[in-house]
């Protein structure tokens, strides 16, 4: 009641004051007693009450603010001040920067929310060596070792959302205060060191917006000197007091009504933690509601804070909630003339053009790092800024594996305007630790398991050098290590000494029947000279020496048991233009090896071998794609090679056949298939689930047993999980070959 009376008083005050002035003033035609005619008394009209809007935080629910603002504009309700927290701060900041609700709606609907929330660079944007990591360890498990085994400060480093903020905030550099924006603005973050709310009113608009929505655990905190900022919802989720302090006479709060949590919902640690945070936030929301003169409550009980894909109905719900309060809100509306004047004043403060950067400056990394980053940014100097291209370049910088995020803004130095690129180095890495698991259940009654770990150290032998070591346990016990060293920091040429030792169980089956079980022992040391063509291809030539020992443990001697020295030269080329290391849906790939064996156990002399593998992947509809793969190998007619050089049989290499059922020195294999997207997993659990079907056929020359024309049809379900791709299915081939199988690990 008191709130309604205060609004009524504020609205009626100008009219009461004007009537009082008219009753006490003398009209121009009225003569004062005993004196001349008195001129009309003119008093300036009282300014209208200033309206401020406070936008509550709530993740995806905060998109409802766009619908509320749209209703406001359609009904000529001015927003003289706006303040927000978390998503409310983001929406409010974009609106304050001059974006109207229709532009905001189009922006939100056009975003790839999985890309923003996942934040990992696309596979195409990774550097070549990071692509190698993803192919060898196809999961999302990466840990830092800089301060012991640790995880990042947030699941999402905020790179993608940061680039979005930078694009909007870019023209508003050099502001002395956020009052200079088209709509005066404030946003609230939480100072994690002091535990108190922090109101951003000046400085970098991009930093302020990034800080206000840094949900603890989900997004990495924002560091500014000795201050660490996280989401403002912890301390002031509905900043009506901030709007009032800005100068608002009338404060309208936009409240997001969530569904109450039931006791049965609190069955997991995550739900308990979520509800605990909600209790803390709800308490400060009550204080915010009490300070408001008017409240627009948006009922959003059927939506969650991560339902960004449901942005359209959430925004519509905000519009409808404002319309439900139309009788109250209509009192704040302006007539058309005053509304147009309000729009002109707002537009006069809007910045649309960005200056041409006269210099490029890089911050946040070492001198060598800044020089390296600067090489990628030279093309942006002294040219109109292409923001889309710049976003792409900065994302590829993140794909090098050194940086958590990269952003940009304009800066001034010595009377010139330049582009300042701020990179954020990983706080927990390098070194990096990547675990992986491979489970092969393609043979009934025998499941092979291997666990691998990769350790990567950077700059150990100069900038851009890497020392990479793999440890393997399970079906294979082994170690592999390589030192990658470019000739110079900016050079594409490199050399790579390497070594490995392994003890592997090697089995040969006919259909589902085991024929032989070997142990293969290898020790090698060598070196490569190579050239990197970019993030998609690499050429290497090298030589290695070592020893090979094969021992039959069980069964018939399907291949010779040999022991002796190995010496080989190798030319290797790899091209990877696909869009995913696990389940490509677009692009092509090629890999070729040419080897010349100077020595090999069991061989009568030196010989050469070559193998080639090609793949092509093409989407045909939004959920469906097809693929075609072909490979082959030969020893150019040499039959006395000791152990066979090539093997066929097993998952994706004639799936219906026994593991390594075919072996020889010349072969070909073709595979064609269809991939259909069935459902999308939550961002932190994985990517997608697919239905897969394929047809395979091939031939191993010189083999007289088994099928004359090996071919099969395979089908199953493939899930791209956080632990790696998981495939379960079955396959039917000729000559009675058939099996059910499952596999965790690399599929293509």
Tell me how far apart the alpha carbons of residues 384 and 390 are, in angstroms, rounded to a whole number: 11
Tell me how far apart the alpha carbons of residues 424 and 366 are, in angstroms, rounded to a whole number: 11
Q: CA 273, 148, 437, 218: dihedral to nearest 10 degrees?
A: 30
Please report, for the chain, how many H helices and E strands are present, in that order.
Answer: 15, 32
Reduced to 3 states (helix: H, G, I; strand: E, B; else coil), residue 523 is strand
80, 86, 214, 600: the catalytic one is 86
Q: What are phi and psi of 596, to 5 degrees?
A: -120, 115
Are 377 and 397 contacting, i.e. CB atoms less than 8 angstroms apart?
no
Tell me how far CA of residue 352 lies from CA of 176, 340, 347, in angstroms.
18, 20, 10
Tell me how far apart the alpha carbons of residues 696 and 711 are, in angstroms, rounded to a whole number: 5
Tell me how far apart the alpha carbons of residues 102 and 109 are, in angstroms, rounded to a whole number: 11
The number of residues making up the chain comes to 748
Tell me how far apart the alpha carbons of residues 682 and 218 are, in angstroms, rounded to a whole number: 13
Tell me how far apart the alpha carbons of residues 129 and 133 are, in angstroms, rounded to a whole number: 6
Tell me how far apart the alpha carbons of residues 498 and 524 are, in angstroms, rounded to a whole number: 8
Select from 739, 617, 629 the least CA-distant residue to 690. Answer: 617
Count of C-beta atoms within a 10 Å radius of residue 432: 20
| Angle value at C-alpha 212, between 222 and 54, nearest 5 degrees | 170
Tell me how far apart the alpha carbons of residues 318 and 324 are, in angstroms, rounded to a whole number: 10
125, 133, 231, 677: the catalytic one is 231
Tell me how far apart the alpha carbons of residues 424 and 360 are, in angstroms, rounded to a whole number: 17
Select from 686, 424, 473 the least CA-distant residue to 580. Answer: 686
Tell me how far CA of residue 511 lies from CA of 173, 655, 709, 739, 743, in angstroms.
69, 10, 15, 8, 18
Tell me how far apart the alpha carbons of residues 57 and 66 are, in angstroms, rounded to a whole number: 13
Q: Which two tokens stand for residue 502?
A: 């392994």
Select from 250, 210, 251 the least CA-distant residue to 232. Answer: 210
DSSP 3-24: HHHHHHHHHHHHHHHHHHHHHH
Across-strand partners of 148? 146
Q: Which two tokens stand for residue 67?
A: 């619908």
Q: Is 606 a catalytic residue?
A: no
Q: Which two tokens stand for residue 361?
A: 């400056």
Select from 683, 630, 656 the least CA-distant residue to 737. Answer: 656
Tell me how far apart the alpha carbons of residues 316 and 68 are, in angstroms, rounded to a whole number: 9
Q: Is 580 a catalytic residue?
A: no
Start-to-end CA span in the chain (Å): 68
Tell me how far apart the alpha carbons of residues 339 and 347 are, in angstroms, rounded to a whole number: 12
Residues catalogued as catalytic: 86, 231
């Amino acid at each position: 009641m008191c709130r309604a009376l205060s609004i009524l008083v504020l609205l009626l005050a100008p009219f009461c004051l004007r009537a009082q002035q008219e009753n006490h003033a003398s009209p121009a035609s009225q003569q004062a007693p005993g004196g001349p005619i008195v001129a009309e008394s003119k008093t300036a009209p009282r300014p209208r009450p200033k309206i401020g809007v406070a936008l509550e935080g709530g993740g995806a629910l905060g998109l409802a603010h766009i619908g509320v603002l749209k209703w406001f504009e359609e009904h000529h309700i001015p927003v003289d001040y706006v303040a927000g927290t978390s998503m409310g701060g983001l929406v409010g900041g974009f609106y304050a920067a001059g974006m109207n609700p229709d532009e905001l709606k189009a922006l939100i609907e056009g975003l790839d929310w999985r890309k923003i929330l996942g934040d990992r660079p696309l596979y195409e944007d990774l550097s070549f060596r990071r692509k190698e990591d993803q192919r060898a360890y196809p999961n999302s498990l990466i840990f830092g070792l800089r301060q012991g085994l640790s995880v990042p400060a947030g699941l999402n480093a905020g790179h993608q959302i940061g680039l979005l903020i930078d694009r909007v905030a870019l023209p508003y550099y050099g502001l002395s205060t956020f009052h200079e924006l088209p709509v005066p603005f404030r946003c609230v973050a939480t100072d994690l060191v002091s535990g108190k709310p922090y109101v951003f009113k000046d400085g970098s608009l991009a930093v302020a917006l990034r800080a206000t929505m840094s949900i603890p655990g989900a997004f990495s905190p924002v560091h500014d000197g000795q201050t660490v900022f996280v989401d403002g919802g912890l301390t002031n989720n509905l900043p009506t007091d901030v709007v009032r302090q800005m100068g608002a006479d009338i404060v309208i709060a936009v409240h997001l009504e969530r569904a109450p949590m039931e006791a049965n919902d609190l069955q997991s640690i995550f739900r308990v933690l979520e509800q605990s945070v909600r209790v803390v936030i709800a308490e400060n929301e009550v204080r915010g509601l009490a300070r408001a003169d008017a409240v627009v409550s948006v009922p959003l009980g059927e939506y969650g804070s991560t339902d960004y894909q449901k942005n359209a109905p959430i925004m519509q719900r905000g519009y409808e909630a404002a319309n439900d309060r139309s009788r109250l809100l209509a009192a704040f509306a302006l007539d058309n003339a005053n509304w147009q004047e309000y729009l002109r004043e707002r537009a006069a403060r809007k910045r649309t053009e960005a200056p041409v950067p006269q210099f490029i400056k890089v911050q946040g990394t070492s001198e060598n790092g800044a020089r390296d980053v600067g090489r990628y940014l030279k093309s942006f100097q002294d040219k109109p800024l292409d923001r889309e291209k710049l976003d792409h370049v900065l994302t590829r910088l993140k794909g090098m594996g050194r940086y958590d995020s990269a952003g940009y803004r304009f800066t001034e130095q010595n009377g010139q305007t330049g582009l300042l690129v701020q990179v954020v180095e990983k706080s927990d890495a390098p070194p990096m630790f990547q675990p992986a698991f491979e489970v092969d259940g393609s043979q009934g009654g025998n499941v092979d398991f291997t666990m691998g770990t990769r350790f990567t150290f950077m700059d150990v032998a100069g900038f851009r050098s890497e020392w990479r070591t793999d440890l393997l346990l399970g079906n294979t016990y082994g170690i592999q290590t390589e030192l990658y060293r470019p000739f110079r920091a900016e050079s594409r040429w490199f050399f790579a000494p390497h070594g490995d030792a392994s003890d592997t169980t090697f089995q040969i089956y006919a259909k589902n029947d085991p024929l032989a079980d070997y142990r293969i022992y290898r020790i090698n040391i060598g070196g490569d000279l190579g050239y990197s063509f970019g993030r998609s291809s690499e050429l290497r030539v090298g030589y290695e020496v070592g020893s090979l020992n094969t021992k039959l443990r069980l069964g018939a001697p399907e291949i010779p048991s040999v022991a002796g020295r190995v010496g080989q030269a190798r030319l290797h080329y790899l091209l990877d233009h696909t869009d995913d290391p696990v389940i490509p849906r677009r692009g092509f790939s090629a890999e070729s090896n040419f080897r010349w064996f100077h020595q090999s156990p069991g061989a009568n002399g030196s010989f050469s071998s070559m193998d080639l593998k090609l793949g092509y992947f093409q989407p045909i509809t939004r959920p469906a794609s097809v693929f075609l793969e072909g490979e082959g190998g030969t020893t150019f007619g040499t039959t006395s090679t000791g152990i066979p050089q090539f093997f066929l049989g097993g998952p994706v290499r004639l799936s219906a056949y026994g593991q390594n059922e075919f072996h020889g020195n010349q072969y070909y294999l073709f595979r064609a298939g269809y991939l259909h997207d069935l459902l999308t997993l939550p961002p932190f659990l994985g990517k997608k689930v697919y239905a897969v079907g394929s047809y395979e056929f091939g031939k191993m020359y010189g083999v007289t047993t088994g099928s004359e024309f090996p071919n099969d049809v395979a089908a199953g379900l493939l899930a791209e999980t956080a632990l790696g791709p998981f495939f379960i299915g079955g396959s039917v081939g000729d000559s009675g070959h058939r099996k059910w199988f499952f596999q965790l690990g690399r599929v293509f």
